[in-house]
């Protein structure tokens, strides 16, 4: 059994391993063949006059479904290239789209200079790409030259989606992500509504932004096209600019100073990098241009000016707005899904809000989603997947399913329809990683919220100082830092305020939680003289831990202070955050912030509150989908109980538990008993005999004759294949109550080795559940004759001692039928003699003893009757005397049992 059990365990282990391996293979196996993109070079004429030739490096992914499919243009982020989008493009192609990705001019292997999504340059490039798509045989057309096409992209790529939609009526749907509405406002924000001309320069972001595009100078010298060939940026996220990561090493490869004029060597259909490596330049070389990298000179000049002064000139604002949706009001009239990051100090939620309002005003369908990440990182992977899925679903809806592009049947309102916010859903209990839940509302209420809650805050008028040189500065968020640290640490952003530079106002602990969705606002008064640059931020403060600055966002503002106090309303950054009960709102007004350019002249002002309350926007219609227990949490246990019941009921043997039959006086009757081994060989074969009361029956046979198997069947331990055993008329089945009249000792003793001999017998008797006085314990112990050893643990016993204890256990309760298997094994001759006497005496009172043995002398001297077995079959049954008589040779000295026995079992000499 040990062997068989071991084999079964092994088989189970192998089965488990196979299941595991299968599961792994199933989940890791590439589910579908990869869609392969075809690299193409598209030659484009752009510029204000349409006379400048650039070659765009693009990749076309034909639709996996074949036939004519809607097309999608996927645009990359700033500092990236088309390579970032390969995976997403392949997945979209697999979904049945013709997908075109391209490196924007000035990036990757495309020629030309960066014009920041200018209508004269990048937008014209996209028009040319749409023309190109219209000529593809596998792109579905709405009209001749008008393909069914959508654009999706993040950041820089999101802006081109918006700008292209404004300038090209053939675009049918767009999904701009984490992008701008007004680039001037993004770089020169101001929170009291005075516009970018009075804005505070976002110097760190601006620096990263321009260096990402201008870094080609060093890259060109070192790398060239070869460096690019193997250098696909690691991130596959479409919604993050490479520039956001401070990845200034994104060597763009081609030489700088590519000339304004048409590139003479650009030819259609020739997109190899080698052609671009030696980009000619007829206008390069001025010292100012050396800092411009691949930027258009007018962009470069603008940046050099504003970065020096920290002030937006009207020309700069005009130039930046030309590349911004703010310059094209009412011209984006197609279905738009706006996805903006909550942790985004470069293009905060307010930009998406402005885009949404502008587009919805034209009557076009617009939906809004605020995701967990943004340019400051900290987004969850689950959100990335969600964004891709939402993007694809939006394209499906407006490109595939819509019969007429851009029109929604039954549209009634002009508002923004769907609104989704990614919120922290705690941690996944299994992986311990953070989980995002998506709260949804049927309509988007805007940054002002569906309703507003006033929370009183208080604090005295406090003097604050601007340090000389603007340093040390408060820290809210360090652009690019999150990406450098791998993004994970960004969620625990550190906010530092310098004492003496910040005024603090606090609310009382909140009596009930407030979920803020939108831009809170507060009125403050600034006392002093001259123009004051301030930064307002709203912390979530609770006892026992650092106050949290939601999304690490601050609102910069400029006020012209007066001694009597200049009152101004500050729009605080748009956030989605739950302020728990017991927490305080803490308004901090600081003079410095590391991310912004602040005045270097030392100054001192006083800041106080005007109004004494923070106005919080609330949107109660945002509902998190009920995350109640999954259906299987109740279904699985119920199903398990049903399965278990089925297992138990189906496994029930169809035998009467009591074995049935009328009780009679025959202690043991065996009829037609057969038991096969697993290999089919019969251990007991058609055995029939019976035993009368008062007999001492010897069960005789050589090893392997089936004696022990028969005894096991008598005890109900193994199931007979055929035939039956009846004890006192009752059929023996496992656990049959009649077994209580059977005492047995089969194949060696079985005791708990850690218990004493006495404890073993006592516990055994207690396990039978019968009254203690019926045990005849002392008589049994006397038979065992163990003396003082009874109080020792059984593990210390010799073989003979265990044997005697086991026989005593069999005799406990003086059973009417006693079955002993080789009882004299391991006993010494005096003990054997005594044993014989005991057994004979036991049977004299009308009880029955069955003794198995292969020792002839044993049987001859102890038994009255004998059953001889050979290979599972009965060969003789009767009194011992009869056995001798039948084989008595005439005239001999009398038969020897040994001869008779050997004769019977067929091994006579």
Residues 617-646 that bind another protein (CB under 8 A): 627-630, 632-634, 636-637, 639-641, 643-645
Among 11, 14, 15, 16, binds another protein (CB under 8 A): 16
- Please count the other Cβ atoms lying within 10 Å of the Cβ belonging to residue 447: 23
Does position 738 bind another protein by CB under 8 A? yes
Q: How far is the CB of 870 from another protein (least distance, A)?
A: 22
Distance (Å, whole) CA 110 – CA 121: 13
Q: Which residues contact 733 (CB under 8 A, 6 or more apart)?
A: 653, 655, 656, 657, 659, 716
Task: Please report whether residue 428 would count as binding another protein according to CB under 8 A.
Answer: yes
Is 72 or 775 the residue whose CB approaches another protein more closely?
Answer: 775
The reply to whether 229 sits near another protein by the rule CB under 8 A is no
User: For residue 472, is the peptide bond before it cis, meaning its omega torsion is within 30 degrees of 0?
Assistant: yes
Contact status: 654 vs another protein (CB under 8 A): no
Q: Could you give the string, one character per residue 77-96, with x where binding to another protein holds by CB under 8 A and - elsewhere?
A: --------------------
- Spatial distance between the Cα atoms of 877 and 860, rounded to a whole number of angstroms: 14
Nearer to another protein, 189 or 813 (CB): 813
Give me the least distance between CB of 813 and another protein, in Å please. Answer: 6
Tokens of 250: 């994104």
CB of 86 to another protein, least distance (A): 20
Which string of DSSP letters, residue by residue, matches 812-858? TT--SEEEEESTTTT--HHHHHHHHHHHHHHHHTT-EEEEEES-HHH
Q: What is each CA distance from 864 to 699, 861, 868, in whole angstroms?
A: 11, 9, 13
591 to 620, contacts with another protein by CB under 8 A? none
Please identify which residue in 768, 798, 799, 886 interacts with another protein, judged by CB under 8 A.
Answer: 768
Applying CB under 8 A, which part among 163-171, 517-525, 594-602, 762-770 lies near another protein? 762-770
Rule CB under 8 A: say whether 680 interacts with another protein.
no
Instruction: Decide: is 764 part of the binding site for another protein (CB under 8 A).
Output: yes
Q: Which of residues 823-882 bind another protein (CB under 8 A)?
A: 831, 834-835, 837-838, 841-842, 844-847
730 binds another protein (CB under 8 A): yes
Based on CB atoms, which residue is closest to another protein, 163 or 549?
549
Cα gap 167→159, rounded to integer Å: 12
Q: How far apart are CA 247 and CA 689, in angstroms?
A: 94
Q: Which is closer to another protein, CB of 30 or CB of 410?
A: 30
**What mask of x and - would describe binding to another protein in positions 509 to 548, judged by CB under 8 A?**
---------------------------------x-xx---
Regarding 7 and contact with another protein (CB under 8 A), the answer is no
Site string for another protein, 355-394 (x = CB under 8 A): ----------------------------------------
Which of the residues 785 through 804 are near another protein (CB under 8 A)? 785, 804
In angstroms, what is the minimal distance from the CB of 343 to another protein? 18
Q: How many angstroms from the chain centroid is the CA of residue 122?
A: 40
Rounded Cα distance, 124 and 138, in Å: 23
Nearer to another protein, 529 or 768 (CB): 768
* Residue 598 contacts residue 591 (beta carbons within 8 Å): yes
Q: Give the residue, chosen from 368, 490, 736, 874, that forms a contact with another protein under the rule CB under 8 A.
A: 736
CA 495/CA 282 separation, integer angstroms: 49
- Tokens found for residue 203: 């110097």
Q: Using CA atoms in the order 855, 856, 857, 859, what is the torsion angle rounded to 10 degrees?
A: 90
**Any contact of residue 909 with another protein (CB under 8 A)?**
no
Name the burial class of residue 544, with classes exposed (0-12), middle (13-18) and buried (19+) by CB atoms within 10 angstroms of its CB. Answer: exposed
Asked if 5 interacts with another protein (CB under 8 A), we say: yes
Q: How far is CA 364 from CA 110, 358, 405, 820, in A?
A: 33, 10, 11, 95
Q: Tell me the DSSP string of 71-89.
A: EEEEEPPTT--GGGGHHHH
Residue 222 is a binding residue for another protein (CB under 8 A): no
Contact 406, 336 (CB under 8 A): no
Stretch that binds another protein, among 339-347, 459-467, 615-623, 737-745 (CB under 8 A): 737-745
Which residues on neighbouring strands pair with residue 820, listed in sequence order?
Answer: 745, 851
Q: Which of 46, 816, 858, 860: binder of another protein (CB under 8 A)?
A: 816
Q: Is 755 a residue that touches another protein (CB under 8 A)? A: yes
Cβ distance to another protein smaller for residue 410 or 771: 771
> 681 Cβ partners below 8 Å, 6+ apart?
none
Q: How many distinct helices (H) and strands (E) make up the chain?
A: 23, 33
Could you tell me which of 41, 77, 80 has the C-alpha nearest to residue 59?
A: 41
Cα angle 663, 669, 671 (rounded to 5 degrees) comes to: 120
If you count them, how many residues does the chain have? Answer: 909
**Which residue lies nearer to another protein by CB, 610 or 827?**
827
Residue from 66, 269, 651, 829 binding another protein (CB under 8 A): 651
Interface residue with another protein, options 145, 530, 663, 704 (CB under 8 A): 663
Among 75, 516, 532, 746, binds another protein (CB under 8 A): 746
Q: Checking phi first, is residue 306 left (phi over 0); if not, alpha (psi -120 to 50) or beta?
A: alpha
Cβ 703 to another protein shortest distance, Å: 16
- State which residue, 213 or 706, has the beta carbon closest to another protein: 706
Alpha-carbon distance 27 to 557, whole Å?
A: 53
- The 8-class DSSP code of residue 623 comes to B
Among 67, 314, 430, 889, binds another protein (CB under 8 A): 430
| 758 contributes a contact to another protein by CB under 8 A | no
Selected binder of another protein within 51, 531, 658, 898 (CB under 8 A): 658
Q: What are phi and psi of 147, to 5 degrees?
A: -75, 155
Q: How far is CA 726 from the centre of its chain?
A: 61
CB of 654 or CB of 909, closer to another protein: 654
By CB under 8 A, is residue 23 in contact with another protein? yes
Least CB distance to another protein at residue 623 (A): 17
β-sheet with 722-727: strand ranges across: 682-691, 668-676, 722-727, 730-731
Task: Out of 87, 169, 385, 779, name the contact with another protein by CB under 8 A.
Answer: 779
**36-44, 287-295, 372-380, 652-660 -> range binding another protein (CB under 8 A):** 652-660
Of residues 776, 871, 887, 896, which one binds another protein by CB under 8 A? 776
Instruction: From 218-226, 251-259, 448-456, 777-785, give the range in contact with another protein by CB under 8 A.
Output: 777-785
Closest CB to another protein among residues 149, 786: 786
Give phi and psi for 443, each to the nearest 5: -140, 160
404 binds another protein (CB under 8 A): no
Nearer to another protein, 2 or 890 (CB): 2
- Toward another protein, which CB reaches closer, 653 or 909? 653
Which 688-727 positions form the footprint of another protein (CB under 8 A)? 712, 715-719
Residue numbers 59-78 binding another protein by CB under 8 A = none
Query: Is the Cβ of residue 298 or residue 844 nearer to another protein in the bound state?
Result: 844
Q: Are 296 and 113 in contact (CB under 8 A)?
A: yes
| CA angle centred on 528, ends 522 and 529, rounded to 5° | 115
Angle between helices 777-784 and 757-768 (to 10 degrees): 140
Nearest distance in Å: CB 764, another protein:
7
CB of 679 to another protein, least distance (A): 14
Q: Which two tokens stand for residue 745?
A: 């000792």
Q: What contacts 481, CB < 8 A, 6 or more positions away?
A: 246, 490
Residue that is written with structure tokens 């996944």 in the block = 428
């Amino acid at each position: 059994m040990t062997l068989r059990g071991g084999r079964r365990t092994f088989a189970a282990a192998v089965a488990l391993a196979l299941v595991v391996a299968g599961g792994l293979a199933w989940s890791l196996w590439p589910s579908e063949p990869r869609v392969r993109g075809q690299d193409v070079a598209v030659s484009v004429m752009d510029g204000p006059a349409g006379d400048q030739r650039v070659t765009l490096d693009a990749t076309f992914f034909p639709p996996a479904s074949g036939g004519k499919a809607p097309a999608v243009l996927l645009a990359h982020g700033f500092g990236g290239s088309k390579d970032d989008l390969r995976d997403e493009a392949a997945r979209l192609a697999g979904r049945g789209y013709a997908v075109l990705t391209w490196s924007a001019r000035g990036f990757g292997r495309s020629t030309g200079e960066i014009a920041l999504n200018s209508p004269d340059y990048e937008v014209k490039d996209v028009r040319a790409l749409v023309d190109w798509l219209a000529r593809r045989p596998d792109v579905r057309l709405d009209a001749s030259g008008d393909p069914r096409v959508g654009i999706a992209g993040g950041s820089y790529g999101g802006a081109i989606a918006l700008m292209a939609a404004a300038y090209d009526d053939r675009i049918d749907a767009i999904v701009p992500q984490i992008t701008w509405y007004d680039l001037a406002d993004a770089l020169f924000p101001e929170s009291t509504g005075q516009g970018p001309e009075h804005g505070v320069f976002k110097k760190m972001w601006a620096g990263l932004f321009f260096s990402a595009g201008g870094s080609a100078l060093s890259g060109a010298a070192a790398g060239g096209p070869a460096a690019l060939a193997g250098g696909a940026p690691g991130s596959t996220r479409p919604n993050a600019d490479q520039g956001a990561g401070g990845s200034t090493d994104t060597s763009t490869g081609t030489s700088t100073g590519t000339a304004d004029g048409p590139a003479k060597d650009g030819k259609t259909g020739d997109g190899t990098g080698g052609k671009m490596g030696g980009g000619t330049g007829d206008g390069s070389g001025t010292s100012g241009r050396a800092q411009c990298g691949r930027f258009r000179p007018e962009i470069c000049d603008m940046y050099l000016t504003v970065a020096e002064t920290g002030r937006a000139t009207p020309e700069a604002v005009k130039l930046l707005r030309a590349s911004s949706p703010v310059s094209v009001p009412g011209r984006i009239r197609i279905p738009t899904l706006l996805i903006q990051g909550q942790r985004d100090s470069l293009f905060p939620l307010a930009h998406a809000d402005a885009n949404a309002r502008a587009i919805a005003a034209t009557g076009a369908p617009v939906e809004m989603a605020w995701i967990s990440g943004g340019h400051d990182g900290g987004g969850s992977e689950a959100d990335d997947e969600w964004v891709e899925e939402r993007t694809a679903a939006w394209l499906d809806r407006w490109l595939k399913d819509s019969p007429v592009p851009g029109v929604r049947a039954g549209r009634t309102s002009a508002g923004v329809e769907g609104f989704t916010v990614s919120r922290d859903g705690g941690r996944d209990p299994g992986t311990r990683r953070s989980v995002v839940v998506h709260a949804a509302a049927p309509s988007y209420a805007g940054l002002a919220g569906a309703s507003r809650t006033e929370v009183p805050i208080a604090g005295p008028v406090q003097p604050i100082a601007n340090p000389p040189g603007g340093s040390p500065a408060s820290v809210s968020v360090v652009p690019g830092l999150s990406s450098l640290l791998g993004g994970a640490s960004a969620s625990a952003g550190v906010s530092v305020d310098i004492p003496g530079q910040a005024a603090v106002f606090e609310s009382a602990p909140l009596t009930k939680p407030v979920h803020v969705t939108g831009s809170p606002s507060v009125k403050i008064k600034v006392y002093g003289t001259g123009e004051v640059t301030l930064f307002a931020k709203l912390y979530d403060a609770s006892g026992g831990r650092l106050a949290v600055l939601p999304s690490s966002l601050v609102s910069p503002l400029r006020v012209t202070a007066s001694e009597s106090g200049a009152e101004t309303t500050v729009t605080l950054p748009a956030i989605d955050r739950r302020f728990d009960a017991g927490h305080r709102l803490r308004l901090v007004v600081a003079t410095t912030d590391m991310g912004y350019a602040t005045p270097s002249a030392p100054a001192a002002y006083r800041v106080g509150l005007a109004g004494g309350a923070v106005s919080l926007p609330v949107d109660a219609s945002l509902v998190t989908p009920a995350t109640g227990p999954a259906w299987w949490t109740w279904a699985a246990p119920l199903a398990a109980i049903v399965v278990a019941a089925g297992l138990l009921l189906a496994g029930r043997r169809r035998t009467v538990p009591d074995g049935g039959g009328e009780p009679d006086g025959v202690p043991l009757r065996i009829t037609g008993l057969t038991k096969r081994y697993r290999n089919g060989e019969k251990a007991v074969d058609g055995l029939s005999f019976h035993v009368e009361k008062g007999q001492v029956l010897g069960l005789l046979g050589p090893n392997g004759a089936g004696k022990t198997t028969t005894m096991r069947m008598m005890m109900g331990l193994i199931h007979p294949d055929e035939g039956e055993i009846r004890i006192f008329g009752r059929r023996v089945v496992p656990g049959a109550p009649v077994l209580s009249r059977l005492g047995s000792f089969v194949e060696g003793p079985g005791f708990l080795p850690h218990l004493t001999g006495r404890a073993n017998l006592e516990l055994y008797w207690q396990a039978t559940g019968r009254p203690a006085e019926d045990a005849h314990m002392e008589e049994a112990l006397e038979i065992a004759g163990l003396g003082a050893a009874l109080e020792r643990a059984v593990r210390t016993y010799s073989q003979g001692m265990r044997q005697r204890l086991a026989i005593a256990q069999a005799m406990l309760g003086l059973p009417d039928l006693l079955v002993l298997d080789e009882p004299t094994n391991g006993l010494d001759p005096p003990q054997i003699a005594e044993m014989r006497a005991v057994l004979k005496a036991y049977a004299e009172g009308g009880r029955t003893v069955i003794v198995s043995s292969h020792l002839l002398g044993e049987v001859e001297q102890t038994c009255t009757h004998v059953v001889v077995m050979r290979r599972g079959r009965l060969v003789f049954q009767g009194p011992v005397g009869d056995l001798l008589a039948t084989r008595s040779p005439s005239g001999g000295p009398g038969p020897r049992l040994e001869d008779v026995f050997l004769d019977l079992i067929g091994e006579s000499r």
